[in-house]
Amino acid sequence: MPNARRGPHDLFAWAQSQRGRIAERGWIAALVLGPLAAVTWLVSLPPAPVAVPTAPPVRVAVRVTPSDATHLALAEALALDVWSENFGPGSPIDLVVHDGDLPRLEAAGLQPEILVPDIDAVARDEAARIAQAEIHRPADWYGEFRDFTAITARLEDLAARYPERVSMSAIGGSIEGRPLWALRIGGTAPDATPMLVNGAQHAREWIAAMVTTCVADRLVREYDDNPAIRDFVDHTELWVVPVVNPDGYQYSWSSDRYWRKNRRGGHGVDLNRNFAVAFGGAGSSSAKRSEIYRGEYAFSEPESQAIRDLVRRESIALHVDFHSYGQLVLYPWNYTAAPAKHRDRFAALGDRIASAIFAEHGTGYTLKAGAQLYAAAGTLSDWMYGEAGATSFTIELRPKGGSGFVLPPEQIRPTCDEGLAAVLALGSATPSD
Ligand SMILES: [Zn+2]
């Protein structure tokens, strides 16, 4: 089970405060006693131990492949955080560990492959780059990652420019009172299929918020020039919710780049474990500090409630839940290795989706049933399929491994191409597929 993360910032801040307090005492003594008395006082003191600042531990992202349950348990015990959504004995798992724990992984024969040598340095570099972009403003809105305020403004602008094609509404609100924005696009044909595309259930998966926004943007703006898009938009009543978890998303911008859950009670709930199919099962946790804490009960969170209510009200039939990372196309079940009743249809459609993605930039996305790797109970996708009867896919976007959640901004556009291709491919599915 992943532990709650401990940042090196905590230790660093403590060391700084101690140094500050020592300096403060010296000043007070000097002011009160006068220079001579202060010197006498200092000389008379036994030599103070020299405070050697200890370097804060570095947090490293590694990939290991535990061969059995014992190795997996060791890896998880050392993990400050688990980045892999899907893993199990014999398959790779991406973890964050302190650099000091690398020898223990090596000694156990786990041969850690370093993905990111210092995840906090990477986050700082990203923040510095984004701050620069605020000043220089790239011409392309998708040339840089955007926070919730900027995404909201982008959606508002789209709805204002193309009112004949798109409308914007809040389908609910977050714990901290942020709106869960949804765009409703197209659907003029009487037989239009209701479809939902959402992103950023998990806060740190910024590319999922960008791709979902970008997909909506392109469907609306390229309608007149692209026959495939026009056909899709006319025959699909599409609901797009770019940021399902706005509180967590904003927190990942302001305070902790690697935050995953919503902000319930400060500890957070993993929204993608809070849905009612197999709630409480394997691959979810009852521990509040866990990254996969499922919440007190199914639909305990306003964000998962809002999605549930939208899906029921609109009788959603097709669904894509965008996440990152791993380049995977996943279909139910996620909670059990037992094959879904419609497994063959899922596999055929998933193959079509992965092929459409590959055709964009030659990027390989691997097709799997979610639980082929490791069970995750209480997911949105399983609920969409099991309760709402929708054809639902979870797509883990770029990268495959590498930099994890921090993706170079040059990859936003090509990843958007892949997301759009996936949505169009699923949209072309007929009930007989
Ligand atoms: Zn995710």
User: Cα of 289 to ligand 1 centre, how many Å?
Assistant: 17
Dihedral sign computed on CA atoms, order 108, 110, 113, 119 = negative
Q: Are 196 and 318 in contact (CB under 8 A)?
A: yes
DSSP state of 370: G
Give alpha helix (H) positions in 137-197.
Answer: 148-161
The listed range with the strongest mean pLDDT (31-40, 357-366, 371-380) is 357-366
* Portions of the chain given CATH number 3.40.630.10: 141-427
pLDDT of 3 reads 40
- DSSP string covering 63-93, please? EE--SSHHHHHHHHHH-SEE--SS--TTS-E
Answer yes or no: is pLDDT of 216 > 70.
Answer: yes
The whole-angstrom separation of Cα 395 and Cα 425 is 13
Q: What is the mean pLDDT of residues 250-270?
A: 98
CB-neighbour burial class of residue 33 (10 A; exposed 0-12, middle 13-18, buried 19+): middle
User: Cα of 104 to ligand 1 centre, how many Å?
Assistant: 28
For 331, the 3-state DSSP assignment is: strand
- What separation, in Å, do the N-terminal and C-terminal C-alpha atoms of the chain show? 39
Answer yes or no: is pLDDT of 377 > 80.
Answer: yes
Confidence of residue 176 (pLDDT cuts 50, 70, 90): very high
Q: What is the mean pLDDT of residues 17-46?
A: 42
* Portions of the chain given CATH number 3.30.70: 59-117
Answer yes or no: is pLDDT of 112 > 80.
Answer: yes
For 421, the 3-state DSSP assignment is: helix
For residue 392, what is the enclosing H or E element? Answer: strand 391-397
Who has greater pLDDT, 70 or 243?
Answer: 243
Give which of 236, 145, 157 is closest to 199, Cα–Cα: 145
Q: What is the mean pLDDT of residues 402-429?
A: 96
User: Cα of 45 to ligand 1 centre, how many Å?
Assistant: 57
- Report the chain's mean pLDDT, rounded to a whole number: 88
Confidence of residue 372 (pLDDT cuts 50, 70, 90): confident
Confidence of residue 7 (pLDDT cuts 50, 70, 90): very low
Cis peptide before 399 (omega within 30 of 0): yes
- The structure's pTM equals 0.87
User: Cα of 287 to ligand 1 centre, how many Å?
Assistant: 19
Q: For strand 193-199 and strand 236-241, is the pairing parallel, antiparallel, or unpaired?
A: parallel
Q: Are 168 and 182 in contact (CB under 8 A)?
A: yes
Hey, which bits of 109-260 come out as E strands? Answer: 113-116, 166-173, 179-185, 193-199, 236-241
User: Cα of 70 to ligand 1 centre, how many Å?
Assistant: 26
Who has greater pLDDT, 382 or 56?
Answer: 382
pLDDT of 23 reads 37
Confidence of residue 32 (pLDDT cuts 50, 70, 90): very low
- The CATH code of the domain at 141-427 is 3.40.630.10
Q: What are the angstrom distances between the C-alpha of 170 and each of 99, 152, 322?
A: 44, 11, 19
3-state DSSP helix/strand/coil % of the chain, to nearest 5 = 45, 15, 40
pLDDT of 52 reads 67
In this predicted structure, which of 26-35, 96-105, 194-203 has the lowest mean pLDDT?
Answer: 26-35
User: Cα of 275 to ligand 1 centre, how many Å?
Assistant: 14
Answer yes or no: is pLDDT of 375 > 90.
Answer: no
pLDDT of 25 reads 39
User: Cα of 421 to ligand 1 centre, how many Å?
Assistant: 20
User: Cα of 206 to ligand 1 centre, how many Å?
Assistant: 10
Supply the residues annotated as catalytic: 396
Answer yes or no: is pLDDT of 339 > 50.
Answer: yes
User: Cα of 199 to ligand 1 centre, how many Å?
Assistant: 9
Answer yes or no: is pLDDT of 5 > 70.
Answer: no
pLDDT of 12 reads 34
Q: What is the mean pLDDT of residues 203-213?
A: 98
For 262, the 3-state DSSP assignment is: coil
The whole-angstrom separation of Cα 67 and Cα 86 is 15
User: Cα of 323 to ligand 1 centre, how many Å?
Assistant: 4
Give which of 338, 335, 340 is closest to 350, Cα–Cα: 340
State the chain's maximal CA–CA distance in angstroms: 94
Around Cβ 229, how many Cβ atoms within 10 Å? 20
pLDDT tens by residue, 417-429: 999 999 999 998 8
- The CATH code of the domain at 59-117 is 3.30.70
Give which of 58, 207, 201, 198 is closest to 126, Cα–Cα: 207
Confidence of residue 379 (pLDDT cuts 50, 70, 90): very high
